[in-house]
Structure 1
């Protein structure tokens, strides 16, 4: 495991697991949202493809994302391992709701200096709405990609519950 994608729906714990794996395996960790959002008002990195291409060319890395559409195939082509947090909605939704409430109340600074606001909760792009509406389709896309021979040889670790993830991580 030298080039790892940690994938799953919003709120599954991708970043948390990626940071833990980074420490355990001594791999450089890259936060995909921090690469994608580079400025206020959720401005997108105009150089995303070039930035991710350079990252993907590196011999060792871990990224906490399925990948934004512009760079998704690039990451999947170069990864050797996908760790899929395939948790059910009843596990993911309380996590994403707690995280978003905390971020909104504390005014936590996120990627590019942005913050979650109470008015953001009304947007279909808010993490809570996104996690709910994208749960099934995201799972189908990951399953399709994991089985796609274009990405072979790609090792896929599919974890269906946080206790499975904890056991897998402890066994590394």
Structure 2
């Protein structure tokens, strides 16, 4: 099975992808880990890495990045759309960003979240990004539906729906 998990920044795509992987035994590849190189510089081999990932027989990954979305959608067997309320995703991204910065959590390829004051000066700060892009998912989902009408899309609107849906998946 090949799963893609869609949603806005902070909604829990990676968390759900990990949970799917843990439940089913299907390997999860975190898309951010393929995208971000040292110093937050996008990796040149990102698209090639995504092509290699989606060529596999079974995988779970996030449906993100404009260069990767068409590749992932073309091979996915199920797209899970986390469509939780924006207040939920925004709260999660703020808490996650503060925790990562406070704990100096090492992310992909040695990166750590920048100082929190960067929110005020960096147009692409993750929290500002989440505000700016909070309405992007419905049009993207409509586009993938038009391009891949055979691709089933499961839309989950609450955490309870997410938990209940996960229970329907086979265990390893």
Mark yes or no: TM-score above 0.5: yes
> Does residue 12 of structure 1 match 2:11?
yes
Residue 96 (structure 1) shift? 0.8
Contact map agreement 2:10 2:90 (CA 8 A) in 1: yes
Structure 1 unpaired stretches of 5+:
none
1:30 match = 29
Residues 8, 136 of structure 2: 8 Å contact kept: no
Displacement, 1:130? 1.3
Q: Hey, which of these two has a bigger chunk of strand by percent?
A: 1
The alignment status of 1:144 with 2:155, answered yes or no, reads: no
Instruction: After TM superposition, give the deviation of residue 38 of structure 1 in Å.
Output: 2.0
1:139 Cα deviation from its structure 2 partner: 2.9
**Residue 71 of structure 2: aligned partner:** 74
CA contact (8 A) 1:89 1:132 kept: no
Match of 2:44 in 1: 46
Distance in 1 between the 2:142 and 2:104 partners? 35
RMSD: 1.3
TM-score under structure 1 length normalisation: 0.91
Q: So what's the TM-score if we normalise by structure 2?
A: 0.91
Q: Does 1:59 align with 2:44?
A: no
Which structure 2 segments of 5+ residues have no match?
Answer: none
Q: Secondary structure at the match of 2:135?
A: helix
Aligned length: 167
**Secondary structure in structure 1 of the residue aligned to 2:10:** coil
